[in-house]
Amino acid sequence: MQSLSQSAVFGTPVVGRSRTASTQRSVARVQAQSVATTLKTDKSEEIFAKAQDLLPGGVNSPVRAFKSVGGNPVVLESVKGAYVNDVDGNSYVDYVGTWGPAIVGHANEEINDALKTQIDKGTSFGAPCALENELAQLVVDIVPSVEMVRMVNSGTEACLSALRVMRAYTGREKVIKFVGCYHGHADAFLVKAGSGVATLGLPDSPGVPAGSTAGTLCATYNDLESVKALFEANKGEIAGLILEPVVGNSGFIKPTQEFLEGLRKMCTDEGAVLCFDEVMTGFRVAKGGAQEYFGVTPDLTTMGKVIGGGLPVGAYGGRRDIMETVAPAGPMYQAGTLSGNPLAMTAGMKTLEIMGRPGAYEHLTAMSKKVVEGILEAGKEAGHAVCGGYIGGMFGFFFAEGPITCFEEAADQCDTDKFAKWHRGMLEKGIYLAPSQYEAGFTSLAHTEEDVDKTIAAAKEVMKSL
């Protein structure tokens, strides 16, 4: 495997005394972060050291830095199927799936061919194109709550737009979210968020004005009474409620059926908009997302990841009367230069077409079931407290007796130090997992029985070594 040189990745730097000194400090910092490893990671270490001088923390998204599991990240060079390959020639069975989008497997040939054809026609139009209609129609046909949809460029953009829609439609300002649920990095949502915020130990983010979060109310996941109390204390003031219908940003946490049904009734009774953040669960836990799986239909849905087939994309949609609030149909402004760009639409359409074929979701469920049950069995055989679960192509487990029903329980009960050792041990054996206890894992159509058998065999060895 041909590796990328520093100059190929970063270009030729302008070297001066201050830059040299800065780079030396970066290298020293990276070396200090390193842990004993049997992997050959020389090139990864070199590139990550250079990145420390160019990118905040050496990465473009915080969780990638491996801060919560120790050591330094491996630097990837290529991906294919169920595998990722680093610059040092190491190959790993991948359960991150570029954080969810790679549901059909990495570098799928059908998607690649469709993209190559579209590239010749143009990569961005900044004008209406038929591909937008085609993907929108697929989404409307597949997702129970969606009658109209607006394409955007990320899950964060989808969620911040949905928040604005909820407020514009109801004429109210307050919104309820749940502790540990992550809806992107918009100011209003960085209150008791999970995912990267929890991984880094930051309860909130500096730089967020108090006024931006004044209307954000936080409840406890799977606890209807905490939601009821907020509605009662803020009668007629709550625009809507947003949640991950299956949590993936506090680790994998399932809702109870009663919880989702209770939220639906409460929002209807209070005249508030119910929004499911299905950026992670959409088209993954079931064809029509968590709302199809649980049979509970929200008013709005945010989407991302799978819907773009590996390209940057997001979307929000829902009831027609609510979506007609959005400009230019209505007064609520939201726009985007690259929204609905033909490459993302092409990749999304081909991905949803592949996922619509017979046996697709059965395969995802079988792989997730096997890997979770194998990991839990390995942990218990080695004497560890472990619990976990799965739905469709999404899974997770905790080093805790469990069950874990909310972020507060995860933060209180989970052995994150043990998880860090587990993560490094699995990486050493060629298994690439999310570098945080507070992230879900993902299977794809490219994962095979052999891949999962390899994962379980590695898990047994690592669990015994902890």
Q: Which of 94, 277, 299, 451 is catalytic?
A: 277
Tell me which amino acid residue 202 is.
L
Cα separation, 356 vs 34, whole angstroms: 44
DSSP string for 344-405: HHHHHHHHHHHHTSTTHHHHHHHHHHHHHHHHHHHHHHTT---EEEEETTEEEEESSSS---
**Strand 83-86 and strand 91-94: pairing?**
antiparallel
Cα separation, 269 vs 246, whole angstroms: 23
- The β-bridge partners of 438 are none
Please confirm, yes or no, whether 67 is among the known catalytic residues: no
Q: Which of 83, 92, 95, 182 is catalytic?
A: 182
Please, are residues 184 and 160 in contact by the beta-carbon 8 Å criterion?
yes
Structure tokens at 205: 């983010």
Please confirm, yes or no, whether 182 is among the known catalytic residues: yes
Please confirm, yes or no, whether 174 is among the known catalytic residues: no
Those residues with Cβ within 8 angstroms of residue 46's Cβ, 6 or more apart along the chain or in another chain = 6
Taking only Cα atoms into account, the Rg of the chain, rounded to an integer number of angstroms, comes to 22
Q: Which of 305, 370, 418, 429 is catalytic?
A: 305
Rounded to 5°, angle at Cα 95 from 89 and 98: 80
Bond preceding residue 403 cis, omega within 30 of 0: yes
Cα separation, 288 vs 323, whole angstroms: 19
Those residues with Cβ within 8 angstroms of residue 294's Cβ, 6 or more apart along the chain or in another chain = 245, 255, 257, 260
Catalytic residue annotation: 182, 277, 305
